[in-house]
């Protein structure tokens, strides 16, 4: 018997909204968007959290500039997330030292549940989940274990990325999608997305200055990208 | 202590079943402690006892059984005990919190693969519960 559901529910009961940033294709900017959303929510005065659920290749800590070999969550009747620029942050990278973690489905499932039952979040306005690409174990686990989680889907205007969004529209998860962010936008695809039945939260152009801001939150939050995310967060929280 | 969070998860799971059955008493609770997670037996026992008491649940008999951690290489099928792998203390500490991070640190001693499967002794779980 391994019934961790009730414990997971209890751990998350102080969190108003759980928002998973998802996409069918990789390289669309999920990690930057998830990190920027969590930082923005904190910046505008609400308690926020960020949980990196890309267990095999965690990278939110790189965006936030957290040295996972030095900073560690504190053990206190569970684990207290690390506070970064006002954001409560948790990642398996604290325990894998940021190394690649080759995992199969059952192992991903175990980490998913373990992290959720041991992490003690404060009362949060929103917990942002960064997820791996595709509709695999983590996304299925979110729908199973976190039924009140909502999804924000990320796409680029590229055909292949847009096609995966169309596929998502045909799944049972489509009802959980509260909106779509088009990232690295070079043409408007708003009408195509609306035809799929999704709300467009933002069309964010490509910003070439982002690469130099990875790991430097102060600079990252002064970019045009962060401004666009702030507009998006206001819409999401309204 | 991290053991309190593990105990809390067990108590929540048990209470959820007790609520379904409208029961307030457990005749026998069998909890397994997998050696990979190296949870402190005494702390876990104390935490379970206190948490059940705080929920008004009477546990007639609480058994904590240790389970040896075994890892099997999915490539060459060799089976390894934890002590064969000579894991440094700081890694043991990390594995204590999230047992699966062992995949970042350990390779099969026979073929070097990182595709290892934890076949027993992963963590703490309820093996059985009698009302």
Residues 6-65 (B) with a CB less than 8 A from some CB of A: 6, 8-9, 12-13, 15-17
Domain of B70 in residue numbering reads as: 2-130
For residue A145, is it within any domain? yes
Residue A2 and residue B17 in contact, taking contact as beta carbons nearer than 8 Å: no
Q: What does the pLDDT read at residue A131? A: 98
CATH code of residue A129:
3.40.50.300
In this predicted model, what pLDDT tens digit does every residue of B4-33 receive, in sequence order?
989 999 999 999 999 989 999 999 999 999
For residue A195, is it within any domain? no
Count contacts between A and B (CB, < 8 Å). 93
Residue with tokens 């529209």: A169
Percent with pLDDT over 70 in chain B: 99
CA A232 from chain centre, in angstroms, equals 14
For residue A19, is it within any domain? no
- List the alpha helices (DSSP H) in B22-55: 41-54
Report how many domains make up chain B.
1
CA angle B11, B15, B16 (to 5 degrees): 120
Residue A125 and residue A48 in contact, taking contact as beta carbons nearer than 8 Å: yes
| A101 closest CB neighbour out of B95, B101, B126 | B101
For residue A77, is it within any domain? yes
Nearest-CA distance from A191 to chain B in Å?
44
A82 in reach of chain B (CB within 8 A)? no
**CB-CB under 8 Å, B94 with A96:** yes
Handedness of CA A80, A86, A92, A97 (dihedral sign): negative
Biggest alpha carbon–alpha carbon distance for chain B: 53
Q: Label residue A186 by pLDDT band (50, 70, 90).
A: very high
For residue A154, is it within any domain? no
Residue B115 and residue B74 in contact, taking contact as beta carbons nearer than 8 Å: yes
A118 in reach of chain B (CB within 8 A)? yes
For residue A186, is it within any domain? no
Domain of A133 in residue numbering reads as: 27-149+207-237
Q: What does the pLDDT read at residue A4? A: 55
For residue A101, is it within any domain? yes
Rounded Cα–Cα distance for residues A79 and A201 (Å): 34
Report how many domains make up chain A.
1
Q: What does the pLDDT read at residue A1? A: 44
For residue A219, is it within any domain? yes
Query: CA-nearest residue of chain A to B11?
Result: A7
In this predicted model, what pLDDT tens digit does every residue of A12-29 receive, in sequence order?
999 999 999 999 999 999
The arithmetic mean of pLDDT across residues B58-69, rounded, is: 96
| Residue A81, pLDDT above cutoff 50 | yes
Q: Label residue A6 by pLDDT band (50, 70, 90).
A: confident
| B126 closest CB neighbour out of A1, A99, A101 | A1
- ipTM entry: 0.89
**CB-CB under 8 Å, B98 with A114:** yes
């Amino acid at each position: 018997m391994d019934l961790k559901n009730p414990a997971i529910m209890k751990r998350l009961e102080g969190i108003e909204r759980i928002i998973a940033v998802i996409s069918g294709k990789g390289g669309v900017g999920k990690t930057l968007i998830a990190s920027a959303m969590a930082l923005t929510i904190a910046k505008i005065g609400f308690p926020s959290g960020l949980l990196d659920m890309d267990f095999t290749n965690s990278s939110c800590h790189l965006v936030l500039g957290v040295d996972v070999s030095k900073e560690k969550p504190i053990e206190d009747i569970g684990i207290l997330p690390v506070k970064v620029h006002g954001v409560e942050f948790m990642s398996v990278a604290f325990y894998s030292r940021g190394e690649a973690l080759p995992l199969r489905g059952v192992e991903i499932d175990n980490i998913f549940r373990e992290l959720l039952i041991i992490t003690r979040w404060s009362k949060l306005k929103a917990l942002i989940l960064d997820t791996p690409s595709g509709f695999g174990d983590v996304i299925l686990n979110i729908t199973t274990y976190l039924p009140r989680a909502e999804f924000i889907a990320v796409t680029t205007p590229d055909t292949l990325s847009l096609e995966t969004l169309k596929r998502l529209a045909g799944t049972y998860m489509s009802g959980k999608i509260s909106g779509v962010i088009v990232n690295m936008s070079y043409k408007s695809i708003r009408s195509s997305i609306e035809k799929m039945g999704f709300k467009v939260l933002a069309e964010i152009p490509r910003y070439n200055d982002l690469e130099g801001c990875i790991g430097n939150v102060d600079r990252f939050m002064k970019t045009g990208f962060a401004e666009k995310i702030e507009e998006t967060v206001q819409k999401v929280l309204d | 202590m991290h053991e309190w969070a593990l105990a809390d998860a067990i108590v929540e799971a048990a209470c959820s079943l007790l609520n379904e059955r409208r029961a307030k008493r457990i005749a026998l609770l069998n909890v397994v402690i997998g050696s990979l997670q190296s949870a402190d037996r005494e702390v876990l026992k104390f935490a379970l006892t206190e948490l059940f008491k705080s929920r008004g649940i009477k546990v007639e008999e609480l058994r904590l059984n240790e389970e040896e951690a075994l890892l099997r290489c999915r490539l060459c099928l060799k089976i390894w005990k934890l002590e064969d792998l000579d894991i440094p203390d700081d890694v043991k500490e990390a594995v204590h919190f999230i047992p699966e991070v062992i995949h970042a640190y350990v390779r099969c001693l026979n073929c070097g693969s990182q595709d290892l499967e934890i076949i027993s002794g992963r963590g703490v779980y309820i093996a059985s519960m009698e009302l």
